[in-house]
């Protein structure tokens, strides 16, 4: 197997780009790091930058960093090769962090193109769906390609310190050419990421699914409480939860609120939503085990939604443990799925809509 060094160019923040801007909930540089790690052909990954924020983000991801002021492809490659120890790579894969939809499979396809010994380099590109007009008088061109921020070349092809002229092209889906450097593209990138995230989340739902069990505080609520001068408590909930839960109930699912606390507001909200409610439960695993057994429901056919340390047990015992976006780190670690919405801010409705999409 050829030694393939992936070098990720991430110059940082400028008028044109910000390599730490959040897209799909992650810093821009993180998407490129994930893609390179997912590529089985990549044997080593280095992030080339001198931006402190990018360095910090890259190291949090466990990526190797080479600090360099160079931002042009050939100069970056030469700076990294001079800085690295160990055997020289056979291939160098140069990546631009500004193209976050490129996947590990795309990169593997690109690297595999150089299995042809007659080729020295290859470029990842995507088709331009529209016709392009150029020149004066203008001439209509069709079948053009846009680069996708990835080029691979043999080590010898970089010796001049310049970007090698590609001798082959690997054409991938048009979405791969969307770049975070363009505001309109960035909006499309978010939409594509959200669509893919929902597809992946839906694929993780238990099949069959028979029951959904919810913690209350921090799941139905935003985990805050309003206390009046006479001692009464009030909480903030999301109005959209009601219709989503109604659809799940109509779909024949068993639903339950399982709470450690005893508070009249929990009972009132459960009554409003027409949900059975069990409060004052210190040992949620024992109660949930019995509740499921009484109904002949397998834990594997159950979803549990939680947000805190005392939800870890139930999250781990069911077919799918789900945490809200702002859950405690222990709950996030125990969950197999993390919602994009926070507790009391649409998390319940998000899950209901996801489940309903699979029930219909």
Percent of the chain predicted with pLDDT > 70: 98
**Residue 167's CB: how many other CB atoms inside 10 A?**
16
Q: Give the closest residue to 322 by CA, choosing from 311, 341, 335, 332.
A: 335
Q: Are 241 and 348 in contact, with CB atoms under 8 Å apart?
A: yes
Burial class (CB in 10 A: 0-12, 13-18, 19+), 173: middle
pLDDT tens-digit map of 242-269: 999 999 999 999 999 999 888 888 889 9
- Listed in order, the ranges of the chain carrying CATH 3.40.50.1000 are 205-359
Q: Nearest Cα to 352, choosing from 249, 274, 266?
A: 249
**Total count of residues recorded for the chain:** 360
> Would you say the pTM of this structure is higher than 0.95?
no
- Partners of 321 in the β-ladder: 304
Please, what is the Cα angle at 350 between 269 and 102, to 5 degrees? Answer: 160
Give residue 340's pLDDT.
86
| pLDDT at position 160 | 64
pLDDT above 90 coverage of the chain, percent: 59
Secondary structure letter of residue 268 according to DSSP: H
What pLDDT is stored for residue 119 in this prediction?
92
User: pLDDT by residue (tens digit) across 116-131?
Assistant: 999 999 999 999 877 7
pLDDT digits (tens, 9 = 90+) for 133-187: 888 888 777 778 899 999 999 987 876 667 778 889 999 999 999 998 888 888 8
Checking if the pLDDT of 93 tops 60, the result is yes
User: Per-residue pLDDT tens for 9-33?
Assistant: 998 877 567 888 888 778 889 999 9
| Alpha-carbon span 166 to 119, nearest angstrom | 9
Class of domain 205-359: alpha beta
| Domain 4-202: homologous superfamily in CATH | Spore Coat Polysaccharide Biosynthesis Protein SpsA; Chain A (3.90.550.10)
Interval 279-298 mean pLDDT: 95
Beta carbons of 170 and 125 less than 8 angstroms apart: yes
Distance of CA 140 to the CA centre of its chain: 39
Please list the residue range(s) of the chain that carry CATH number 3.90.550.10: 4-202
Q: What's residue 243's pLDDT?
A: 96
pLDDT score, position 16: 67
Please state, rounded to an integer, the average pLDDT across all residues of the chain.
90
Q: How many helices (H) and strands (E) does the chain have?
A: 11, 19
Which alpha helices (H) appear in the chain, and where do they start and end? Answer: 28-38, 52-60, 73-83, 104-112, 183-203, 241-250, 264-273, 284-294, 312-317, 329-334, 347-359
Q: What is the pLDDT of residues 180-230, one digit of tens each?
A: 888 888 889 988 888 888 888 888 899 999 999 999 999 999 988 788 778
Three-class SS state of 93: strand
Q: What would the mean pLDDT of 280-306 be, rounded to a whole number? A: 96
């Amino acid at each position: 197997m050829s030694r393939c060094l992936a070098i990720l160019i991430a110059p940082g923040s400028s008028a044109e780009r910000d390599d730490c801007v959040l897209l799909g909930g992650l810093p821009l540089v993180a998407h490129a790091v994930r893609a390179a790690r997912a590529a089985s052909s990549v044997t080593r990954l280095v992030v080339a930058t001198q931006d402190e924020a990018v360095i910090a983000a890259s190291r949090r991801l466990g990526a190797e960093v080479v600090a360099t002021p160079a931002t042009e492809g050939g100069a970056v490659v030469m700076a990294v090769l001079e800085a690295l120890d160990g055997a020289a790579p056979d291939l160098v894969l140069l990546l631009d962090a500004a193209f976050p939809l490129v996947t590990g499979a795309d990169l593997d396809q690109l690297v595999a193109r150089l299995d042809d010994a007659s080729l020295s380099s290859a470029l990842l590109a995507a088709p331009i769906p529209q016709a392009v007009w150029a020149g004066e008088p203008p001439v209509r061109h069709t079948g053009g390609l846009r680069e996708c921020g990835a080029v691979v070349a043999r080590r010898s092809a970089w010796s001049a310190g310049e970007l090698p002229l590609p001798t082959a092209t690997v054409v991938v889906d048009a979405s791969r050419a969307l770049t975070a450097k363009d505001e309109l593209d960035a909006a499309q990138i978010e939409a594509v990421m959200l669509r893919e995230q929902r597809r992946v989340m839906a694929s993780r739902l238990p099949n069959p699914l028979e029951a959904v069990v919810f913690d209350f505080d921090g799941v139905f609520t935003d985990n805050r409480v309003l206390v009046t001068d006479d001692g009464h408590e009030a909480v903030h909930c999301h109005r959209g939860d009601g219709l989503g839960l109604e659809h799940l109930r109509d779909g024949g699912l068993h639903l339950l609120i399982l709470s450690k606390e005893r508070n009249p507001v929990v009972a009132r909200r459960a009554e409003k939503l027409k949900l059975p409610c069990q409060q004052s439960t210190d040992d949620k695993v024992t109660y949930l085990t019995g509740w499921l057994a009484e109904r002949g429901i397998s834990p594997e056919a159950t979803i549990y939604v939680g947000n805190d340390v005392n939800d870890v047990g139930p999250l781990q015992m069911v077919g799918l443990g789900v945490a809200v976006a702002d859950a405690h780190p222990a709950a996030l670690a125990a969950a197999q799925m993390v919602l994009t919405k926070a507790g009391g801010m649409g998390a319940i409705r998000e899950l209901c809509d996801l489940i309903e999409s699979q029930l219909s």
